[in-house]
Amino acid sequence: MHNLNVTIDGNKILNDLNFFVKKGDVLAIVGPNGAGKSVLFRTLLGLFPYSGSIVWGQGLKTNYIPQKFYIDKDLPLTVKEFLEFKNNNLNTIVRSLISVGISDDSHDGHAEHYIREHLLPHRLSLLSGGQLQRVLIAWSVIDNPDILLFDEPTSGIDVGGEETIYNLIEKLRVERNMTVLLISHDLNIVYRYANNVICLNKKMICFGQPNLVLDPTALSQLYGGTVGFYKHEHSHE
């Protein structure tokens, strides 16, 4: 990406962004609310006009999971029917669900559960927030993408569930050799999983390895005021 600028309704949202992502890497985007993080993702997907250049590798397939996913309460949509929008092969659907840890090999598991509660039969239980997030991840990987964009993938999930979801994303990334771009407010997650991080507040405050660029100066510029900071040390076994 070179000199990316995005203006919406006369308001400059993104200003002169320059960065790159290597195949197989995890790039995290951090910043305060209103910093333009989701706008950046939607621009990468071609949903907003921009100036500057965005260059993708040849023939790459990209999937996106938004921060919030709304389904009308009156829509009687099962997990299986939802995944059939991408692939109508039952074996593929079951394998995709197994890969995210919410089904088994009996061709039912959670596949027939309704995503919303309104028309839920008594014999089926409602998906939890964590299970729904896993279904969305199954949807995102069922057609074997090269790149996944996650906009705060654990929004609304408890702390224990957050750790599980990020571990799942990392597991799938390694198994499928995918590139991951994720938006997160949790700097511990950034340190643990990201090769590089962008500090974004309409313009790029920093870009690079988290342990090198997430310093008190960058965080103060990013979030304003005096920011509590400690040096993060993380060793890989």
Smallest CA-to-CA distance from 210 within 187, 229, 226 is with: 187
CATH class of 2-223: alpha beta
Burial class (CB in 10 A: 0-12, 13-18, 19+), 85: exposed
- This prediction's pTM: 0.84
pLDDT of residue 236: 45
pLDDT at residue number 237: 40
pLDDT of amino acid 36: 95
Average pLDDT estimate for 112-139: 66
Instruction: Return the minimum-mean-pLDDT range out of 35-44, 73-82, 163-172, 200-209.
Output: 73-82
Mean pLDDT of 92-103: 85
Average pLDDT, integer, range 208-215: 94
The span from the CA of 100 to the CA of 192, in Å, is: 20
Tell me which amino acid residue 103 is.
Answer: S
- pLDDT of the residue at 50: 97
Q: How far apart are CA 212 and CA 220, in angstroms?
A: 15
